[in-house]
């Protein structure tokens, strides 16, 4: 089952998210941080900033983002693309635990972020979006 915000995103799309991501392609990364808000924060040359996060939150869900990659090694690289990939669900004793990968492509190679959604089985899906933010 999908949560209501995920269903609305699937029906309506998100042109703003695509526009923000497109603007970032080709820019040099000056900051790259997985924040306490479970979002990936980019800073780029020229002062542009971008946040990538899962906005599909419905009630009774826990969403978070993780990576095993060293993000600092990609500072100074050029962003070439962002690709969503499906991942196998994690085993959960009582609830559902879905995972979706975000592959970030740079001129130094790729790194992978894993978006997790733990829920009671009545919700689910992902709504990974890009939004503009002030670069710090």
Confidence of residue 129 (pLDDT cuts 50, 70, 90): confident
Write down the mean pLDDT value for the chain. 83
Residue 75 DSSP SS3: coil
- Does the pLDDT value for residue 110 go beyond 60? yes
Distance CA 53, CA 64 (A): 9
pTM above 0.85, yes or no: no
Helices then strands, each counted (H, E), the chain: 2, 8
Report which DSSP code applies to 95. Answer: S
**Cα angle value 55/105/89 (rounded, 5°):** 50
Higher pLDDT residue, 67 or 121? 67
């Amino acid at each position: 089952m999908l949560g209501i915000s995920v269903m609305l995103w699937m029906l309506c799309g998100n042109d703003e998210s695509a526009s923000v991501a497109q603007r970032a392609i080709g820019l040099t990364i000056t900051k790259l941080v997985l924040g306490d808000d479970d979002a990936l924060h980019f800073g780029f040359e020229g002062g542009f900033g971008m946040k990538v996060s899962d906005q599909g939150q419905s009630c009774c869900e826990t969403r978070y983002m993780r990576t095993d990659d060293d993000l600092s090694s990609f500072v100074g690289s050029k962003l070439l693309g962002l690709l969503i990939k499906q991942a196998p669900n994690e085993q959960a004793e009582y609830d559902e635990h879905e995972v979706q990968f975000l592959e970030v492509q740079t001129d130094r190679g790729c790194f992978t972020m894993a978006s997790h959604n733990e829920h009671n089985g009545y919700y689910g899906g992902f709504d990974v979006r890009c939004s503009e933010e002030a670069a710090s």
